Structure 1
């Protein structure tokens, strides 16, 4: 059964906004290197600092896992179709995620949890999502949807919302807003 148009739009949004940093139409190691620079610059982490090194190591590990799993034709790039196919496979058994997918989930939570207190608040969420070109108002609205009336989102809640983003066909499910966008 092919991926629904709704899920495909979500997957392509994450592909183009969060991964295909140089907008080449594919994901490769250069996108990850650019993302590292973008993330570290936005946080004020200088090249060579502990946070920079941690970000670099995490992102390169995520890239290697993504490439190994999704790069079906071994050309060093992940195409839109390879990306969609991989996440479609994930949606069939999200409790059996690949290691790099779990690392990416943890990386995104830690990135958004700027204070390191174990939860994400609206300002932390907005800071990260707006870095990817979304307006602050949309980010705040998306946070209200994922927080479901709470002031913070814990890691366990974030992980549940994450699974929902990649598997849900229901446009009103709160997990659909985890990347800051409010409509697909």
Structure 2
């Protein structure tokens, strides 16, 4: 098992545990969606907000909850990390496991609809939704902006998400996607 992936998953867990009670619940994921939508000025009852909520509910049901080994509808860090290490081990499964929610997050961030995310857009989504400090958002964004255009295209964003969840390259900038590890 990868120590690097374990550290990355712990960092992701820290941001996803919105109420900081040491466990993930469906409510934590719904609050991530609410906070990210609010940061972008999306009305709670809008179609986009509903889609985001439905997707987070699916992410809970199909990706997180199966790792609830004791059936208490709460997934602690050890359960989630062990589950992610087992289930997120094949990059070819990215489209069915994570791509759809990554697309949704990208679309949420791409407020001007230009197919790219600026540093401000990136910081709004990751800072508000996953509690990533602004300095960490700036650091990772600048490292992911390979062409130094000040934007991150959808493909570059997906490459980063893939590397974060499936990769073991200790030098990859994407290791810090959800905050510095």
Relative to the length of structure 1, the TM-score reads 0.83
**Deviation sequence 1:129-166 (CA, Å, 0-9, x none):** 33244443432221110112332222222222211112
Higher relative contact order (CA 8 A, sep 6+): 2
> Which residue of structure 1 aligns with residue 155 of structure 2?
156
Distance 2:71 2:80 in 1: 13
- Are the counterparts in 1 of residues 67 and 80 from structure 2 also a CA contact under 8 Å? yes
Give the alignment partner of residue 108 of structure 2, picking from 76, 96, 111: 111
Residues 15-94 of structure 1: matches in 2 within 5 Å? 15-17=13-15, 19-94=16-91
Deviation at 1:96, TM superposition (A): 1.7
Q: Return 5+ residue gaps in structure 1 as ranges.
A: none
> Which residue of structure 2 aligns with residue 146 of structure 1?
144
Q: How many pairs align?
A: 179
Say which SS state the counterpart of residue 97 (structure 1) adopts: helix
Residues 130-145 of structure 1: matches in 2 within 5 Å? 130-131=127-128, 132-145=130-143
Moved over 6 A (4+): none
Give RMSD over aligned pairs: 2.2
> Which residue of structure 2 aligns with residue 129 of structure 1?
126
Q: Return 5+ residue gaps in structure 2 as ranges.
A: none
**Deviation sequence 1:71-122 (CA, Å, 0-9, x none):** 2333212221221122212453121237342332222222222222222122
Relative to the length of structure 2, the TM-score reads 0.84
